[in-house]
């Protein structure tokens, strides 16, 4: 799901997903089919000549996708060490994450809004 969380508006070919996560495309295809059943991602077919190529994209209208993306965003932020750095260097009374990143609505062009 990380690929779809990080690039939610982009269509992805199976082979590209397989290469990025370093797993065999047959294994990736099985997981993608499960995610399609769960309605977390969408599949379209692109025709090139006589061949059909499936493309996969995040299902941005699915509430569970946004919920999972929100959890992923918070986890990524904590794992980055940024919050610890802010706490260590600035000693704020509170750190508030808000905006599209907090809601799970962010895309590739979004920023992270933090209030100290």
Residue 27 belongs to what domain range?
A: 2-58
Whole-number Å distance between alpha carbons of 94 and 100: 19
DSSP 7-54: STTS-EEHHHHHHHHT--HHHHHHHHHHHHHTTSEEEEEEEETTEEEE
Same domain, 53 and 71: no
pLDDT of residue 21: 93
Whether residue 96 sits in one domain with residue 50: no
Distance CA 52, CA 14 (A): 12
On whether both 91 and 43 belong to a single domain, the answer is no
Residues of the chain with pLDDT under 50: none
Through-space distance between the first and last CA atoms of the chain, rounded to whole angstroms: 30
Per-residue pLDDT at 74: 96
pLDDT value for 48: 87
Please list, in sequence order, all residues whose beta carbon lies within 8 angstroms of the beta carbon of residue 84, skipping any fewer than 6 positions away: none
Any idea what the CATH number is for the domain that residue 52 is in?
1.10.10.10
């Amino acid at each position: 799901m990380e690929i779809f969380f990080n690039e939610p508006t982009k269509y992805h070919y199976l082979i590209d997903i397989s290469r990025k996560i370093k797993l065999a495309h047959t294994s990736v295809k099985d997981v993608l089919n499960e995610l399609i059943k769960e309605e977390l991602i969408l599949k379209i077919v692109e025709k090139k000549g006589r061949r059909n190529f499936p493309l996969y994209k995040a299902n941005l209208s699915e509430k569970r996708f946004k919920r999972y993306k929100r959890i992923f965003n918070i986890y990524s932020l904590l794992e980055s060490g940024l919050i610890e750095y802010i706490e260590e260097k600035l000693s704020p009374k509170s750190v508030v994450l808000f905006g599209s990143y907090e809601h799970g609505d962010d895309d590739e062009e979004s920023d992270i809004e933090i209030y100290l």
